Amino acid sequence: MPSIASTPRTLAVAAMLFAGIVSPSQAADFYAGKSIDLLIGAAPAGGYDIYGRSLGRHLGRHIPGNPTIVAKNMPGAGSARVGGFISAIAPKDGTAIAALMPGAIVGQLLDPKAEALFDPTKVIYLGTANNGTRVCVSRPDSKVKTFDDALTEKASFGGVSANDSTRDYAYLHKRTAGAQYNVVTGYAGTADIALALERGEIDGACGWDWASFKAQRPDWIRDKKVNVILQVGREPNEELTRMGVPSVWKYVKTDTARKIVGLVIGQQVFQRPYVVPPGTPAERVATLRAAFDATMSDPQYLAEAAKLRIDISPLPGGKVQEVVQDLYATPKDIVEQARRAISP
Range with the largest mean pLDDT of 3-12, 58-67, 115-124, 160-169: 58-67
Confidence (pLDDT) at 8: 41
Across all residues in the chain, what is the average pLDDT?
Answer: 91
Query: Among the listed ranges 18-27, 93-102, 178-187, 208-217, which one has the minimum average pLDDT value?
Result: 18-27
Confidence (pLDDT) at 235: 86
For 21-30, what is the mean pLDDT?
A: 80
- Is the pLDDT at 15 greater than 50? The verdict is no
How far, in Å, CA of 324 to CA of 268, rounded? 11
More confident residue, 175 or 18: 175
The helix-helix angle for 102-110 and 165-177 (nearest 10°) equals: 50
Point out which residues pair with 134 in neighbouring strands. Answer: 209, 232
Confidence (pLDDT) at 1: 36
**In the chain, what is the greatest distance between 2 CA atoms, to the nearest angstrom?**
81
**Is there a contact between 334 and 259 (Cβ–Cβ < 8 Å)?**
yes
Q: 21 falls in which pLDDT band (50, 70, 90)? A: low
Q: What is the dihedral of CA 76, 36, 119, 43, to 10 degrees?
A: -20
Q: 3 falls in which pLDDT band (50, 70, 90)? A: very low
Three-state secondary structure call for residue 213: helix
More confident residue, 288 or 266: 288
Three-state secondary structure call for residue 288: helix
